[in-house]
Amino acid sequence: MKTDASKIVNALPLPALLVRQDDRIEAANPPACDLLGGAIEGRHYMTALRQPTLLDAIEGCLRDGADRSTQYVTTDGTNDVSYQVSLRRLTEEQTHQVLVCFEDITHLQQVGQMRRDFVANVSHELKTPLTALIGFIETIQGPARNDPEGQARFLTIMAQEAHRMNRLVGDLLSLSRVEADERVRPTERLDLSELIRSTVHGLQPLADGADVSLQVDLPSDPVIIAADADQIQQVLTNLIENGIKYSGAGAQVRIHLGPPQEQPKLRARGVRLEVADTGPGIDPLHLPRLTERFYRVDSHRSREKGGTGLGLAIVKHIINRHRGRLRIASDLGKGTRFIVILPCT
Ligand SMILES: Nc1ncnc2c1ncn2[C@@H]1O[C@H](COP(=O)(O)OP(=O)(O)OP(=O)(O)O)[C@@H](O)[C@H]1O
Ligand SMILES: [Mg+2]
């Protein structure tokens, strides 16, 4: 016969179990059996749980009746999974039982870790140019006080470093703006062909300076989608700019837009935009992490080119907001293709 307490434990949606005063497990609900492995009802709790901090907590709770909470860490095969475990003593007719409830807090810990990593990355990225600026200021005030030529040279570098910091702060602000309205779907109607034409026109001088040719291939009719024009322009700029920056002299960047049609990936009508370059390509090893904030394949080379490593993170968030898809295809020596699929409405 199941007691009322065991029936309640069985009905709980989170892993939960009940431990009797004689140290046996009175009840374990299906999520708890999944977590702790098979038939544990009737077993001594020490053989089912095994983690000393949890065992101590159960023993203490049975003894003195005080509420406790502790952590239980396990693995799902590839990653650690952390549970917050709460213990409460139930007493009926002078016999005690302990209710043990498990709550998965892995995602909370991951968010915390991401926030710490982000702050560490931002601080590091700002500190590098700042250290250079401080160094040059001291040089101009000291050893180079009477050296106008040196001063001019240092000021040029200082200006570059200050621009770097400015770009970084600008990128961080746009990232946080995009994240803030990621849940709001854009409704503005936009002619994507026209936007591509004007964006490419604006980037032509950069391409000319790098000796990279830009080719545009658009459908003859206007392509109307529901989108935020500023944000889609930022996607285009970041992708085309990467193509120009990383491909090297003599390369080509081709921007191709297909006509609206059914897109299996979206299960809706949409358009396919491709930005492909003939540059050195990216080792497929890096592709899964490329859209992470501050991720760079060759951080020295990217920094040299004034990159902050935020461009593709911004692209990914904007495409998410538009309920679109981003795919990156590349192989070393074979150029890189960024494929963006955006819904029409
Ligand atoms: N077309 C490309 N060809 C080769 N490598 C690329 C290309 N696009 C991006 N990458 C690699 O991916 C990294 C991340 O790109 P991302 O645009 O996010 O940052 P960034 O260009 O370094 O900085 P930012 O765009 O903020 O100025 C780059 O540092 C570069 O190593
Ligand atoms: Mg970039």
Given this model, what pLDDT does residue 37 score?
84
Cα 164 to ligand 2 centroid, rounded to whole Å: 13
Which atom of ligand 1 is nearest the CA belonging to 313? 18
CATH 3.30.565.10 location in the chain: 185-345
Which atom of ligand 1 is nearest the CA belonging to 279? 3
Q: Which tokens sit at 203? A: 């980037």
Given this model, what pLDDT does residue 81 score?
93
Going by their DSSP bridges, the two strands 80-92 and 325-330 should be labelled as unpaired
**Integer CA distances (angstroms), 274 to 224, 235, 243, 286, in order:** 17, 12, 12, 20
Among 242, 252, 295, 300, name the best residue to mutate to test ligand 1's pocket (greatest count of ligand atoms within 8 A of Cβ): 242
CATH architecture assigned to 4-104: 2-Layer Sandwich (3.30)
Cα 42 to ligand 2 centroid, rounded to whole Å: 60
- Taking phi over 0 as left and psi of -120 to 50 as alpha, with beta for the rest, 294 belongs to left
Q: 106-180 belongs to which CATH class?
A: mainly alpha
Taking the CA atoms of the chain, what radius of gyration do you get in angstroms?
29
Q: What residues in the chain have per-residue pLDDT under 70? A: 1, 306
Given this model, what pLDDT does residue 42 score?
92
Q: Which residues contact 85 (CB under 8 A, 6 or more apart)?
A: 54, 57, 69, 70, 71, 72, 100, 101, 102, 103
CB atoms within 5 A of ion ligand 2 belong to: 242, 311
Nearest CA to ligand 1 atom 19: 309
Residues 195-247 have pLDDT tens digits of 999 999 999 999 999 999 999 999 999 999 999 999 999 999 999 999 999 99
Given this model, what pLDDT does residue 1 score?
62
Cα 241 to ligand 1 centroid, rounded to whole Å: 9
Single out the residue of 183, 186, 177, 175 nearest to residue 292, CA to CA: 175
Q: Helix, strand or coil for residue 306?
A: coil
Nearest CA to ligand 1 atom 31: 297
CATH 1.10.287.130 location in the chain: 106-180
Within 10 Å of residue 142's Cβ, how many Cβ atoms? 8
Which atom of ligand 1 is nearest the CA belonging to 291? 18
Given this model, what pLDDT does residue 106 score?
94
CATH 3.30.450.20 location in the chain: 4-104
User: With contact defined as beta carbons under 8 Å apart, do 21 and 33 qualify?
Assistant: no
Given this model, what pLDDT does residue 94 score?
84
Strand ranges inside 157-244, DSSP E: 189-191, 213-217, 224-226
Residues 66-94 have pLDDT tens digits of 999 999 999 888 888 999 999 999 988 88
Q: 185-345 belongs to which CATH class?
A: alpha beta
